[in-house]
Amino acid sequence: MVNIEMSDAEYQDWLHSQKSATQEEVQAQHDAWWNSLTDKQKQQLYNDQEELFKLTIEEINHECK
C-alpha cells in the first residue's frame, strides 16, 4: 500500500522496489480471475464486448461516408 503522504522521491523509490510481473504470472492471474467467473458473468462480458465492437464498426462506417 502506498502512503499518500510520501514525497515524489519516496514514491519513486517505492516504485522501483516493486517486482515486475512475468508473463506467466500475469497469465496465471488472468486465468484465476476468468475461472472465478460464472458462466453468466462470462456471457455478459462477451455480450458487452460484442456490443462495443458493433458500435466501433458503426462509427468507422459513419466516418467513411
The answer to whether the beta carbons of residues 49 and 41 sit under 8 Å apart is no
pLDDT for position 14: 86
The answer to whether the beta carbons of residues 2 and 14 sit under 8 Å apart is yes
pLDDT digits (tens, 9 = 90+) for 2-13: 557 888 999 898
d(CA 5, CA 1) in angstroms, rounded, equals 12
As to burial, measured by CB atoms within 10 angstroms (0-12 exposed, 13-18 middle, 19+ buried), residue 55 is: exposed
pLDDT for position 44: 96
Q: What is the pTM of this model?
A: 0.54
pLDDT digits (tens, 9 = 90+) for 19-65: 888 999 999 999 999 999 999 999 999 999 999 988 888 777 777 76
The answer to whether the beta carbons of residues 21 and 9 sit under 8 Å apart is no
